[in-house]
Amino acid sequence: MISWPWKSKNASATRLAISVGDEEFHFVQAAGRQILRSGTARRGRDTPQQFARRVRLIGLPDTDVVNVLGLAECQLLQIDAPAVPDNELKAAARWRIKDMVETPVDELAIDVLEVGAPRPGQRHQLYVAAAQNSRMLQVGEWMSGAGLRPTVFDIAELAQRNLQCALSEQQGRPGEVSAALVRHGAQCLLTICAQGELFYCRRLEWSVKSIDTTPSLALLAAAAVSKTRGLMSAELEGVDMIDYGAEEEDVRPAATESVSRLALEVQRSLDTWERSWPDRPLDRLWVDAGSQTADFRALLERTLSLPVEPLDAWGLFEGASAADDEPIPLTLLGGLLRQEARAA
């Protein structure tokens, strides 16, 4: 079993955020909010060892390296906080998630962080991040071959939180409750954050039908119902949830209709938040779906009752642009904004 170094120990004047895939390596180096350089290396026909040596020739720094794991590399599970001393928390959390994961818990690297800030009388909740030891070791060995030393491993949910909170601060609304929906390949990640904390997250599937610029009346009617009476069962009220898929319940358009189910599932998640946290109303939803952001935003604006805006994370940095031939992955920009005070 390996440990997961959430906290950075070797801070430097610059920070390097990376993502390591089997076929691609992405990086961005920054000094504060100034992007110094970024790029993508593709493996092609190289062996992993040859690929690592080629990346080593780029000459990237080996200190203050944030490796942001992809959604497929890490699960984020929500549990009731065990009533144990802090030094026993991880061991207790490992036991709690044993029936929630397919991999034996002894083969997982885990860490924990608080779910937002609980209200008086509310059960304290924890997020448990779990990644396979074998994958972590594989990535660590590859990074060593590439001349990189991981200072910290981070995850997509926290990187997205960092972007949301930074945007809220930039726009003069640090206390607002915001939601963000970002496409990550075949999935979308929905997060709700307030005052620098992650309160809610959900993973949703993305397909070719995720965006339909002419949604049917059935979808619009279903969305209207969700706005007026809610789509989640009453027994879930007051419970913070993390969902990784869509529930088969309540009003849905017919399976044969060419409409976006994703828009409806987003509405259901926002409804869950409003029922669970009526004293924390959502201020806005930020979205990013790459080249389809404009269409996706237009669809959501027709089905949601709150402002929907593009997530302009590049405006947080100097030297970064979404219009580049190969724009920097948003998760890496979020990794650059990591603050150790937010880690558990």
Check whether 327 has a pLDDT greater than 90. Answer: no
Classify 34 as helix, strand or coil: strand
Decide which of 3.30.565.10, 3.50.50.60, 3.30.420.40, 3.10.580.10 is the CATH code for 173-314.
Answer: 3.30.420.40
Give the pLDDT score at 13: 72
Give the pLDDT score at 226: 45
Give the pLDDT score at 218: 47
Residue 245 and residue 325 in contact, taking contact as beta carbons nearer than 8 Å = no
What is the per-residue pLDDT across 239-263, written as a single tens digit (0 to 9) for each? 333 444 444 444 443 332 323 788 8
What is the per-residue pLDDT across 33-86, written as a single tens digit (0 to 9) for each? 999 999 999 999 999 999 999 999 999 998 899 999 999 999 999 999 999 998
Strand partners, 256: none
Local confidence band at 235 (pLDDT 50, 70, 90 cut-offs): very low
Give the pLDDT score at 333: 96
Give the pLDDT score at 247: 42
Of 66 and 233, the structure prediction assigns the larger pLDDT to 66
Of 75 and 174, the structure prediction assigns the larger pLDDT to 75
What average pLDDT does the chain have? Answer: 82
Q: Quick one: CA torsion of 96, 99, 103, 107, rounded to 10 degrees?
A: 30
Give the pLDDT score at 2: 39
Of 232 and 308, the structure prediction assigns the larger pLDDT to 308
Check whether 319 has a pLDDT greater than 60. Answer: yes
Distant-in-sequence, close-in-space partners of 87: CB < 8 Å, separation ≥ 6? none
Q: Find how far residue 301's CA is from the centre of its chain.
A: 22
Q: Domain ranges for the chain, please list them.
A: 74-132, 173-314
Of 180 and 151, the structure prediction assigns the larger pLDDT to 180
CATH entry 3.40.50.300 includes domain 74-132: no
Give the pLDDT score at 340: 53
Cα atoms in the 13 Å half-sphere on the side-chain side of 95: 8
Q: How far is 336 from 331, CA to CA, in rounded Å?
A: 9
